[in-house]
Amino acid sequence: MDTDLAILLAIATVWLVAGLVVEGMPRLTAARALRRRTGLLLALVGAGLAGLAGVLLVGLVATEPTLADRTATGLALPAVPAVVVAALTVRRLWWLRVGAGAFSAAPETPAPPALRAGAAHPMIALPVQVTGLVMLPALVTATGLVPLTSPGMIGVVLTAAVLAVGMIGVRHALRHSRLVERAVTVRSRSSRTAGVLHV
């Protein structure tokens, strides 16, 4: 296997694994587990961003044709959600890890509903998973099996990407909304209980 293709395959694998990790975060009930998972996701996202930026940078400065040159169109697609990850998702993950750390002194301390709702925020999961999915056309282009750089194929790929983003975004928005409602319900119950005890 071509070394450049192996590197791109490794980057795509990192993003796909990050997508699987972020999918399970809102289901974690212990604060310590949520903190660990957030740290793992930060490491994966950092490696994915560094790898993608490295391939694009090599393609810009190299004099000989490289994988980034051959798949410039394919790599431009994952670069868009990757920028969103770098600008928004990393910051949210960092604050989520700090918040989970405040409750993780004991191994079985439950994660507050607000933290689980934060872990389900669409701007955490959506950009990570979309970046992993749109790395796949870049891999197909790099192998040369299907020419995705033709105008007709670019339209098909972009249409499929828009549909995938819409479906993933709606699913994450619904899950986030459900967890936010649960957090608000728990908070209102706690307030009522505190008021009764105060009286």
Supply the pTM of this predicted model: 0.82
C-alpha–C-alpha distance, residues 87 and 150, integer Å: 31
In 10 A of CB 44, how many CB atoms?
A: 21
The 8-class DSSP code of residue 145 comes to S
54-72 pLDDT tens trace: 877 776 666 665 555 655 5
The 8-class DSSP code of residue 110 comes to B
- Residue at token pair 């790395």: 135
Residue 119 CA: distances (Å) to CA of 26, 30, 67, 102, 159: 5, 13, 35, 15, 28
Residue 36: what residue type?
R
Residue 121's Cβ-side half-sphere holds a number of Cα atoms within 13 Å equal to 15
SS3 30: strand
Give the residue ranges of DSSP H helices in 72-144.
72-84, 90-101, 113-119, 122-143
- At residue 7 the predicted structure's pLDDT band, cuts being 50, 70 and 90, is confident
Structure-block tokens of residue 91: 């910051």
**Top-confidence residue, 24 or 72:** 24
C-alpha–C-alpha distance, residues 101 and 104, integer Å: 5
The 8-class DSSP code of residue 162 comes to H
Residue 169: the pLDDT is 87
Which of 47-56, 76-85, 105-114 shows the lowest mean pLDDT across its residues? Answer: 105-114
- Residue at token pair 């872990």: 119
Count H helices and E strands in the chain, helices first. Answer: 8, 0
171-187 pLDDT tens trace: 888 998 888 888 777 66
